Structure 1
Amino acid sequence: MNSGRSAESSVSASFRDPDGRVIVSGDRVFRFVYPRGQESLSRFLNSELFSALSDSGEVIGTRHADKDVGREIADRHSIKGFASVLEHDAVPFASFAYEWCPEMLASAARLTLKLAESAAESQWGLKDATPYNILFRGTRPVFIDLLSFEEREPLDPVWKPNAQFIRTFLLPLQLAKYIRLPFRPFFLLGRDGIEPETAYEVSGWFARWLTPLRTTATLPALLSKKSEDGSIYNPRTSKSPEQAAFVFARILRGLRKKLDSASPQAQRGSVWSGYMDQNLSVEPGYVDQKKDLVREFVASHSPRTVLDIGCNTGEFSKIAARSGSRTVSIDTDEVVIDELFRSADNESLDILPLVIDISRPSPAVGWMNSENPSFIARAAGRFEAVLMLAVVHHLLVTERIPLEEVVDLIASIDTRALLIEWVSPDDPMFRTIARGRDELHRDLTEDVFREAFEHRFRTRKRTPLVRETRVMYEFVKK
């Protein structure tokens, strides 16, 4: 678990939990546990359930922290009255649901249900079901909130986070699948997903009544006024533990069935989903040359971490990951990120694919803009190498971002090596996206491009590409 920042700080939503608080100090993560949560958490940490889930990597590895270190951090953050201090394993790069593709949200949902099922077998349960309880190591989700586990009453047939699971997992996935509505803006606007009433309002007649939204959005929205007295939240008990277990298991099976039907389709198309295949079919030598240059770049610098900006389906990210680099790959297109997530997961590559527009990266959000740090803040100092292949001209032309600002962005990440593709204004793709505004870019030459980067970097290598209007540059930090 890691905020992605090197400085010491309090992290995502930790202050919302009355049972504890999380502090990130450098690359170490500490959880301060208050007395009200101590007894239950101690029993969970000593249980066979925790051992099994921790060993499998599904729940974050945790141990008791050094007492002196804990007291020192507590003093710096004025944390009083804590009963114990735990240290969690670090997750290399934190990401949030507003940066995930549908495949990632579905993967996090499957883990949540699996943990609820496994916990129930040992008379444990989950207090809540939210994407904010989960981070990703590459394509593998890991549950990070140990204080979410609580002991279940044997006669309790209800899964308390049922409605929250629907709001934060099912409805976002269903809207993405059935009406092609991206869910990420909803998570930027609020923590708790999508209300059934909202899902009902944004759906058309067909989606409301002839898809699974009928039971998760339409009927709950139409019946919501009949339950305004709060009676639906009154505790309920079964006649026997066996009956409670049967009802509970049936609830989870129903949610899993809905989740399976809401999982994204593998063959969706988008504007950029066929980009790499098109290049391979039209100009295979161009793609092969770029792959060779990426291999040489990675072999030369041996970066432990790589950021691939504008990754598309991740062919170059995979080269870095296969060479042993932990890779974060970002693109604006959720369809290509979905495809990369599936292929990286199938190959067990250490790639974290995220839906991020580098021209509008994720901002700092939450209470006082301090709960979830911005993407740029998380990226600073985290990547030893950066790839920017066939992307800068989109920033210059489509987004109208000055070249000097692009250079400053890469410098702010504090990388030591950069592989970047220069695309001439005479390039067919450049002219296509310029849409007749060629005059705006008449002063953009290769010399101007190189000199702009040489203010912050040193040119190590220049390689003309098979496509004559393009050149690959390798820069290193001065």
Structure 2
Amino acid sequence: MSAVVAARDSAEFDPGSFRDRDSRVFRRGSGLYRALSETALQDWRRLSAASFLKHDMQTGRIVRTRLVDDVPPPRDARSGEDSGWAAVLEHDPLPFVSYPYEWCFGMLRDAALLHLDLLQAALAEELILKDATPFNVQFRGVRPCFIDLGSFVQHHPAEPWIGYRQFCQTMLYPLMLQAYRGIDFQPWLRGRISGIAPGQFVRLLSIRDWLRRGVLTHVVLHAALEGRADREGKSTRQGLQQSGFNRSLILANVSKLRRTVSRLSWQESGSAWSEYDAESEPVRQDAVAKEDFVGRVVESGRWKLAWDLGCNLGRYSRIAARRAAHVVAMDFDHWTIERLYRDLGDEGQTLILPLVVNLADASPGLGWRGAERRPLERRGRPDLILALALIHHLVIRENLRLGELLEWFRLAGDRSVIEFVDREDPQVRSLLKNRTDGCEDYSRENFERELRLRFDVLQTLDLPSGTRTLFDVRPR
């Protein structure tokens, strides 16, 4: 068997890349590729000649991409024959895939602004983005990177921006929901990955909200036009073409959209968890010893991927980043992650990806056949997991069983630092006040028994407060 045939047989299309008939992502080993139709190849050649592409690839705003001729795409799954692809692009691989329903407000806004900036640059080169979904953006640390090169297509005169509705549904409306109504957008995007329809969103706004920036044009009028088009059996796209929706009008609309998005803001007064690092006396007492312990574990190896679960403001994520190629910092508190995202941006930190994740209700498989968007644990196995001041919240507040939780840690990663907080700790006593059953299975004795059934304990440390212990463990 030739090397080319072997490569072809080992390649698999990404289950999340199928909606675009002219461009489809596939993987071969650790490589990430995109198969192009003849039409998409011609668009790639136009894009390659565009003045903005090289600069945006160098700065990381667009994923680094090159045309390759030695990597064949997968064969047709049913017939085993060639699928008629004309060319293949190779993309730089991503350290970790995240989804918009795991982002904080600032991340979604930056993804939206990147879309609009690239759209403006494309229009100047007689190109346009045919899609406008945040799933076309990934983050390297806190830097957004556009990944769907197949979305750039030739723009024909009088052709409207067909991605406008998608932009509104998946980016503008969720941002407005957070900024204008103070409602977290993540459950809305997770519940419907195509976003919030104009007719639905307008019902969520008060008459007073109609006076806010961008609402009348992009929500109220948009919903009215779509409603009329549906009643008359016409497409919005056809109506725009007949109205002479040319390039200059698109650019004017995009400029106004950009001003609207850039001025959207969200500010919380704070939460119990976002202030936890600053106000908790046990945390202050134990901080030096805990940082030293975590630092020694981190320095003991080189880590491709580390997870910091219940990261709070990222103290231990930053320690992990000293020796990890990439750190995913997760916390269920949206405002905490928003603050961390802003701080990391100010620091110029590129190795830490902050995400809004509740481990007790982590992102499942979504979309077509539950495979279009992968669940959290199927997006990369971490070499190192930090679970500091987390276990007691998951067991007592979320009512998870201790043994099942530790089994999840055993299956999830290669090495873990887990903090156990005793029942006498003020934080645990506060949580137990809300439990009528007393949560009797939550004890140091039961924790160690369940832990040693599943892990080899490499080292432990009792923290100065006397109610907390760190365990450095490796799965058996």
Q: Under a length normalisation based on structure 2, what TM-score does the superposition of the two structures give?
A: 0.89
Equivalent in the alignment of 2:309? 309
The alpha-carbon deviation at position 288 of structure 1 amounts to 2.9
Structure 1 residue 270 displacement after superposition: 2.6
Structure 1 counterpart of 2:204 = 202
- Residue aligning to 1:371: 372
Residue type of the partner of 1:140? R
User: What do the CA deviations read for 1:206-238 (whole angstroms, capped 9, x no partner)?
Assistant: 324456434332343345433433364235489
The whole-number CA distance in structure 2 between the counterparts of 1:107 and 1:315 is 24
1:125 to 100, 123, 128: 128
**Residue 105 (structure 1) shift:** 0.5
Task: State the partner residue of 1:474.
Answer: 472
* Worse-superposed segment, 181-190 or 122-131: 181-190
* 1:384 alignment partner in structure 2: 383
| Conservation of the 8 A alpha-carbon contact between 1:34 and 1:81 | yes
Residue 404 of structure 1 aligns with which residue? Answer: 403
* Residues 10-29 of structure 1: pairs in structure 2 closer than 5 A: 10-11=13-14, 13-29=16-32
Corresponding letter in the other structure for 1:367: W
Q: CA offsets, 1:432-467, max 9 Å, x none?
A: 112253754334332321231222221111111122
Residues 283, 309 of structure 1: alpha-carbon distance in 2 compared, 3 angstrom cutoff: closer
One-letter code aligned to 2:162: K
Q: 2:63 pairs with 60, 65, 68, which one? A: 60
Q: Give 1:255 shift.
A: 0.3
Structure 1 match to 2:262: 260
Q: d(CA) in 2 for partners of 1:47 and 1:259?
A: 26
Partner of 1:278: 279
- What is the 5 A alignment of 1:160-171? 160-171=162-173
CA distance 1:452–1:343, shift in 2 (3 Å): same
What is the one-letter code of the residue matched to 1:200?
V
Q: Distance in 2 between matches of 1:132 and 1:95?
A: 9
Give how far 1:259 is off.
0.1
* Partner AA of 1:25 in structure 2: R
Query: Where in structure 2 are the equivalents of 1:338-349 lying within 5 Å?
Result: 338-349=338-349
Other-structure match for 1:109: 112
Q: Which residue of 2 aligns with 1:4?
A: none
Distance change in 2, residues 1:119/1:441 (3 Å): same
| Structure 1 SS opposite 2:359 | coil
Contact between 2:225 and 2:236, CA under 8 Å: does it hold in 1? no
The one-letter code sitting in structure 2 at the alignment partner of 1:113 is L
Equivalent-residue separation in structure 1 for 2:296 and 2:104 (angstroms):
30
Partners in 2 of 1:376 and 1:461 — Cα distance?
A: 26
CA contact (8 A) 2:226 2:236 kept: no
Please give the per-residue CA displacement for 1:235-271, whole angstroms capped at 9, x wherever unaligned: 54899xxx95543332111001110122333x54234
Amino acid of the structure 1 residue aligned with 2:265: S
Question: 5 Å matches for 1:88-237?
Answer: 88-153=91-156, 155-156=157-158, 158-210=160-212, 212-222=214-224, 224-228=226-230, 229=232, 230=234, 232-234=236-238, 236=241
C-alpha distance in 2 between matches for 1:268 and 1:12: 41
The separation in 1 between residues aligned to 2:212 and 2:44, in whole angstroms, is: 44
State how far apart, in whole Å, the 2-side matches of 1:66 and 1:158 are: 34
* Residues matched between the structures, number: 461
User: Which of 430, 433, 438 pairs up with 1:432?
Assistant: 430
Report the 3-state secondary structure (helix = DSSP H, G, I; strand = E; otherwise coil) of the residue aligned with 2:408: helix
Q: Which residue does the alignment assign to 1:295?
A: 295
AA partner of residue 335 (structure 2)? V
Q: Percent identity?
A: 31
Per-residue deviation at 1:272? 1.7
Cα drift, residue 369 of structure 1: 0.9
Q: Unmatched 5+ residue regions in structure 2?
A: 1-9
Shift in alpha-carbon separation, 1:245–1:370, aligned structure 2, 3 A: closer
Q: Structure 1: which 5+ residue stretches go unaligned?
A: 1-6
Partner Cα separation in structure 1 for residue 212 and residue 120 of structure 2: 30
Moved more, 244-253 or 436-445: 436-445
User: How far did 1:43 drift?
Assistant: 3.0
Corresponding letter in the other structure for 1:469 = T
3-state SS, counterpart of residue 359 of structure 1: helix
Whether the aligned pair in 1 keeps the contact of 2:50 and 2:125 (CA below 8 Å) is no
From the superposition, tell whether residues 225 and 446 of structure 1 become closer, same or farther in structure 2 (CA, over 3 Å): closer
Cα gap change, 1:115 to 1:443, in 2 (>3 Å):
closer
Name the residue aligned to 2:358.
Answer: 357
Cα distance change on mapping 1:116 and 1:411 into 2, 3 Å: same
Which residue is equivalent to 1:3? none
Secondary structure of the structure 2 residue equivalent to 1:14: coil
